[in-house]
Amino acid sequence: MKWRTLNGNRIELPILEKVERTIIAEYEKGNKLKVCIGTDSQVRGDFIEYATVIVFLREKKGGFMYISNSKAENRISLKERMISEVAKSIEVAYSLCDLLDLYDVALEVHADINTDPVFKSNTALKEAMGYILGMGFVFKAKPDAFASSSCADKVV
């Protein structure tokens, strides 16, 4: 996966190394961190565009994010697309969880899935929740899933 900052600067380091350097730099500034990971997607003709974000929240001092965009062919149902978003988030969370544990940084995985059964994305709620919780991560869905429903949504 290729990563960038919100202003478009490419992250040249492997993401694990970049996240570790970020944590160290933030701790040196006295900031307490929480990391939220989320993915959103948009269907654009024959393709699905995905954006996965790693959001760093500084306690009472705002936050920032790293972004990775990708594409896939649009040959899946809405439910499959929602689970695909969750899978992308879990892949990133899993790659970072040991590092975040080492530095005692809280981690949440956010799913862009509505808890209200009126919405179509709700069909994937149980599977997504089971997938995320089964991997041992803290799960958040709409309206609390800002990493996916707000941050990733803005950059997909």
pLDDT of residue 44: 94
- pLDDT confidence tier of residue 72, bands split at 50, 70 and 90: very high
Q: DSSP code of 152?
A: I
- 3-state SS, residue 29: coil
Residue 108 phi, psi dihedral angles, 5° rounding: -130, 145
Number of domains in the chain: 1
In angstroms, the Cα distances linking 62 to 31, 58, 108, 112, 151 are 10, 5, 17, 21, 13
Phi-psi region of 65 (alpha: psi -120 to 50; beta: other; left: phi over 0): beta
Assigned token pair, 104 = 């005692």
The domain of 42 spans 3-155
Name the residue type at position 74: N
Which pTM was predicted?
0.94
**Predicted confidence (pLDDT) per residue in 25-68, tens digit:** 999 999 999 999 999 999 999 999 999 999 999 999 999 999 99
Evaluate the omega torsion of the peptide bond into residue 117 and state whether it is cis, within 30 degrees of 0.
no
CB 105 within 8 Å of CB 56: no
**Predicted confidence (pLDDT) per residue in 103-147, tens digit:** 999 999 999 998 988 988 888 999 999 999 999 999 999 999 999
Gap between the Cα atoms of 19 and 110, Å rounded: 18
